[in-house]
Amino acid sequence: MAKLFDPFQIRSLTLKNRVCVSPMSQYRAKDGVANDWHFAHLSRFALGGCGIVFTEATAISSDGRRTHGDLGLWNDHQLDALKPITKFIKAEGSIVGIQLSHAGRKASERRPWHGESPVNEQDVKERNEAPWAAIGPTNEPYGKEWPAPKIMTDEDIHQIIEDFGLAAARADSAGFDAIEVYAAHGFLLHQFYSPLCNTRSDQWGGSFEGRIKLALDVASSVRKNWPAEKALFFRISATDWIDGGWTVEDSIQLAKALKDRGVDVIDCSSGGIGGPHPPISFPIGPAFQAGFSKEIRQNVDIATMAVGFIWDARVANTVIESGQADLIAIGRELLNNPNWPLQAAKEIAADDDYSLWDPAFGWWLNKRERVMRKLGLR
């Protein structure tokens, strides 16, 4: 039975444990270029003992950004700015991954704290941030107040496939070990595979095979430009949580096809498709999406990652021990406590003497612990 702090092998990579940083947009980049904030933010998770540190959603093209503050990887300046981050994280013993994304009809959005609505004149006035035109499988907007996206032509679609490949090659040069393709939460690839959004009748829509074609061709394009020894993750929305929408059974079929295209891990999130369809209510609770990971893991010969509302060390360990997932991803709890993995290891008795910590911290903490025990304070 695998446990949270057992190593995990993907191709030639050995993760020291099963805890991954879930991609978290910081909205702090300018022109897609990483800066000191991204270095400090991501480095903390390496020092905190995470097995894989994933960057936030990083756009494959300028127009594919969700907000003006997103990271990007469509030019070499952006590539160079990411190098110190990959170098540091690897030197501290974590695997470093990048999430590649295209926002599709969700592009040109304001940062969460500016309203999570389309960029408008106020943003131009206050921050000199102008709106840009979004694209999508159809011209149905993401939400009520959103402008209609431009319907993508065959040429647009081929450009996306090529751009994912080019970004993968740049990610390799920047020193990343893992790529996660962002195909969840209502972003472009999810917009294509969800029947609620993709009503096209050409080869990129219509049937199930048509709707998943873009995701599969992107997987192949990334694999072609990404070394065979490096890992490829795919983040999907395992269900739309909406009647008539994408289902877990669809996710199982997609996962099988992605495996054939060289994908190693399915990261199982859910929801976010938007449009005029109200989501049915769903039960949020500890590890509430782990069931999707379990379904896919049991039905497809592929590794899975569970994510969502995981913060308790014992719950996290149970997800792995019970075979619901090979890996867990943690988001908000790592913002709260970047040392979560090291502290979780103590909590579930996987590290009694701070030996998982770098000695620069662990030697002192262990010494203090011995004194506290002597004084009866522990």
Ligand X SMILES: Cc1cc2nc3c(=O)[nH]c(=O)nc-3n(C[C@H](O)[C@H](O)[C@H](O)COP(=O)(O)O)c2cc1C
The site for ligand X (CB under 6 A) is made up of 22-25, 56-57, 99, 182, 184-185, 235, 269, 307-310, 330-333
- Give whichever of 15 and 330 is closer to ligand X, judged by the CB atom: 330
For residues 331 and 349, give the distance between their C-alpha atoms in angstroms, rounded to a whole number: 23
* 372 neighbors 378 (Cβ within 8 angstroms): yes
For residues 294 and 314, give the distance between their C-alpha atoms in angstroms, rounded to a whole number: 18
Q: Report in angstroms how near the CB of residue 335 gets to ligand X at its nearest.
A: 7
Q: Report in angstroms how near the CB of residue 267 gets to ligand X at its nearest.
A: 8
- Give whichever of 99 and 225 is closer to ligand X, judged by the CB atom: 99
Q: Report in angstroms how near the CB of residue 185 gets to ligand X at its nearest.
A: 6
- Give whichever of 108 and 269 is closer to ligand X, judged by the CB atom: 269
Helix, strand, coil tally for the chain in percent (to 5): 40, 15, 45
Q: Report in angstroms how near the CB of residue 102 gets to ligand X at its nearest.
A: 12
Q: Report in angstroms how near the CB of residue 300 gets to ligand X at its nearest.
A: 21
Q: What is the CA radius of gyration of the chain?
A: 21
For residues 37 and 41, give the distance between their C-alpha atoms in angstroms, rounded to a whole number: 6
Residue closest to ligand X (Cβ): 331
- Give whichever of 19 and 205 is closer to ligand X, judged by the CB atom: 19
C-alpha torsion 149→150→155→157, nearest 10 = 10
The contacts of residue 82 (CB under 8 Å, 6+ apart) are 34, 55, 73, 98, 174, 175, 176
Q: Report in angstroms how near the CB of residue 344 gets to ligand X at its nearest.
A: 13
Give the distance, in angstroms, between the CA of residue 263 and the centroid of all CA atoms in the same chain.
14
- Give whichever of 64 and 308 is closer to ligand X, judged by the CB atom: 308
- Give whichever of 57 and 134 is closer to ligand X, judged by the CB atom: 57
* 164 neighbors 100 (Cβ within 8 angstroms): yes
Helices (H) then strands (E): counts for the chain: 12, 13
Helix residue ranges per DSSP H, the chain? 36-47, 76-91, 121-127, 154-173, 188-193, 208-224, 248-260, 290-299, 313-321, 332-336, 340-347, 359-374
- Give whichever of 63 and 333 is closer to ligand X, judged by the CB atom: 333
- Give whichever of 69 and 195 is closer to ligand X, judged by the CB atom: 69
Query: What's the number of CA atoms in the CB half-sphere (13 Å) around residue 189?
Result: 28
Residue with tokens 């449009």: 275
Q: Report in angstroms how near the CB of residue 309 gets to ligand X at its nearest.
A: 4
Q: Report in angstroms how near the CB of residue 101 gets to ligand X at its nearest.
A: 7
What angle do helix axes 154-173 and 76-91 make, rounded to 10 degrees? 40
* 291 neighbors 323 (Cβ within 8 angstroms): no
For residues 190 and 313, give the distance between their C-alpha atoms in angstroms, rounded to a whole number: 31
Q: Report in angstroms how near the CB of residue 324 gets to ligand X at its nearest.
A: 15
- Give whichever of 208 and 309 is closer to ligand X, judged by the CB atom: 309
* 170 neighbors 187 (Cβ within 8 angstroms): no
- Give whichever of 332 and 368 is closer to ligand X, judged by the CB atom: 332
Q: Report in angstroms how near the CB of residue 30 gets to ligand X at its nearest.
A: 17
